[in-house]
Amino acid sequence: MRYRKTISNRLEKLERVREWLRPRLVVAGVDQASVRSIELATTEALANIMKHAYAGSDASVINITLTVDPALVRVAIRDFAEPFQPDPAKETLAPEPSPSGGLGMYIMRQAMDHVAYEQRSPTGTTLIMEHHRRPSTNAPDVQPDAR
């Protein structure tokens, strides 16, 4: 199944996105721990775009595509900011918890099985995050409309 959502560049939308993701993942039988990981990585990615990529930018929307396959969940996040060049070292090394943040990309890498960036034309970046599905043992514990 594939789902699409467009949000505006406002941090208040982060919770709405999680509320959009959760029921779709639960209905598809994605296990509870994986649902949490996908919500976390997506929130971190969107917050990064809003706080950094879109800071001082006229860009105002972000497109999200959720694909749920039998073996894989994929979240693709398309922004329209200046192309982003990630620093692989920053994303894989475990930073010390700090008041200044800097953990977002590390958390995305830890929460998901695969993270990649595709430069888009004429501007922007598509972030693709994939999470391999695991046998669900506790799906009934997560209620689609619990939040």
Partner 1 sequence: MEIQLNDAVVATVLQISGDIDASSSTKLAQAVNELLGQGKVKLVVDLSGVAFMDSSGIASLVLLYKRSKSALGDLRVCGLQDGVQALFDMTRLNRLLDVFPDATAAMADWSR
Shortest separation between residue 122's beta carbon and partner 1, angstroms: 28
Per-residue binding letters, 62-101, with partner 1 (x by CB under 8 A): --------------------------------x-xxxxxx
Rule CB under 8 A: choose which of 50, 76, 81, 115 binds partner 1.
50
* Maximum pairwise Cα distance, the chain: 45
For 112-145, b/e burial (b = at least 16 CB within 10 A) is: beebeeeeeeeebbebbbbbebeebeeeeebeee
Judged by beta carbon, residue 70 or residue 135, the one nearer partner 1 is 135
Name the token pair of 61: 């929307």
Contact flag: residue 44 with partner 1 (CB under 8 A): yes
Minimum distance of partner 1 from residue 35's CB (angstroms): 9
Both tokens of residue 31? Answer: 């296990």
Q: Which helix (H) or strand (E) holds 25?
A: helix 13-27
* Cβ–Cβ under 8 Å, residues 20 and 65: no
- x/- binding map, residues 97-136, to partner 1, per CB under 8 A? xxxxxxxx-xx--xx-------------------------
Decide if 79 contacts 62 (C-beta within 8 A): yes
Nearest approach in angstroms of CB 10 to partner 1 is 8
Q: Which residues bind partner 1 (CB under 8 A)?
A: 11-12, 14-15, 18, 32-33, 36, 39-40, 43-44, 47, 50-51, 94, 96-104, 106-107, 110-111, 147
